[in-house]
Amino acid sequence: MARFKIPLFKLNFDKKEEIAIIKTIRSRWISSGPKVGELEKKFAKLIGTKYSLATSNCTASLHLAMLTAGIKEGDEVLCPSLTFVATVNAIRYVGAIPVFCDVTSEDDLTISPEDIERKITKKTKAIIIMHYAGFSCEMSKIMKISRKYKLKVIEDACHAPLSEYKGKKLGTFGVASCYSFFSNKNISTGEGGMYSTNSSKNYTLAKLLRSHGMTTASFERSNKSSIMYEVLETGYNYRMDDIRASIALVQIAKLRKDILQREKIRKLYIKYLKDIKGISIPFSNFKGKSSNYIFPILADNRDEIRNLLVKKGIQTSIHYQPVHRFKIYRKYYRKLLLTDIVTGKLLTLPMYSSLKEEEIKFIAKCLSQIVK
């Protein structure tokens, strides 16, 4: 990070996170305990679901979502290719088959409802969507398809805490939603995630699976006279610890302000980049609420531009390489015309709430000089 004048991301941390960690350590309970419980209640209230379950990471949440949705070996799950590979890995964890769907357009990088419907077969059991960059998928169309064909919808909302679709929070449409607290996300804890649902049955099962299938956790047993427990499922160790939960609680308190600032930054980017030839801005006409997790652009000669930006001290990234072209997933290859075009041009510019207008101007000036 130090070698870049303008890094891709900066943590929204201050002394509040430090104090929260110290208090948790001094409480003498640092594994999964009261802070995790507090976080789960606050997160469920924040996004508007009945239940939330803190996990070790979003990948664990996605696996729990597959298991609680009843996805089995040989089932087909429709999914985007333009996503982080974990979205698709979770499908394979349960032995299901990923069926890759194209993006909607070069302006809308979310999964195409039309391509979803084209690829439904008798084996299709679920649709997993990803709200790319914090911008909502076309949920009315997707939920209509899910009802028509009796398919489960799972929302990978790792980019989208507090994002909305037509006034309704993302993560509240499907049978489950999953969130990431990785270090560069809107809510940062280093590692960590959340599984959310409105189903008491799915929540109960997910809670069992999260901790070895045990009926009671260590913290619950510590407050009871009995130390006995039963094991009801072949579970996993997907727990979050109280140290990370204490950080997440501070981060949640900052989230609304952080997202409001990101919206201002997005508008400044559009202002200074809109007239540069050879560059287009996906979601430029989006009118709803977005977390603005990242700021993607499409640029001709992307790799050359990226290398020259590095020389100017500007860090960039690519979100993401298409999953259907990774070696492990080539046997599930589908021709995705728009995804292949888009992923050859995608470039992620710096985005964080403390990014200054003069820094955005500098990025725009550099891009303008480079594309000329």
Q: Is the dihedral of CA 57, 61, 260, 298 positive or negative?
A: positive
91 with 110: CB under 8 angstroms?
A: no
Alpha-carbon distance 102 to 116, whole Å? 8
**Helix (H, G, I), strand (E, B), or coil: what is residue 120?**
coil
For residue 11 the two structure tokens come to 């943590």
pTM of the full predicted structure? 0.95
pLDDT at residue number 219: 67
Name the active-site residue from 35, 185, 254, 345: 185
Concerning whether 72 is annotated as a catalytic residue, the answer is no
What does each C-alpha distance from 295 to 159, 221, 346, 348 come to in angstroms? Answer: 11, 46, 10, 6
**Helix (H, G, I), strand (E, B), or coil: what is residue 168?**
strand
What confidence tens digit (pLDDT) does each residue in 295-305 have? 999 999 999 99
Domains of the chain: residue spans and CATH: 15-252 (3.40.640.10), 256-371 (3.90.1150.10)
List the chain residues with pLDDT less than 50: 1
Alpha-carbon distance 45 to 41, whole Å? 6
Alpha-carbon distance 336 to 338, whole Å? 6
Q: Cite the beta strand spans of 37-109 per DSSP E.
A: 51-55, 76-80, 97-101
What confidence tens digit (pLDDT) does each residue in 204-260 have? 999 999 999 998 876 666 666 567 889 998 999 999 999 999 999 999 999 999 999
**C-alpha Rg value of the chain to the nearest Å:** 21
pLDDT at residue number 1: 45
Tally the C-alpha atoms within 13 A of residue 300's C-alpha that lie toward its C-beta.
Answer: 8
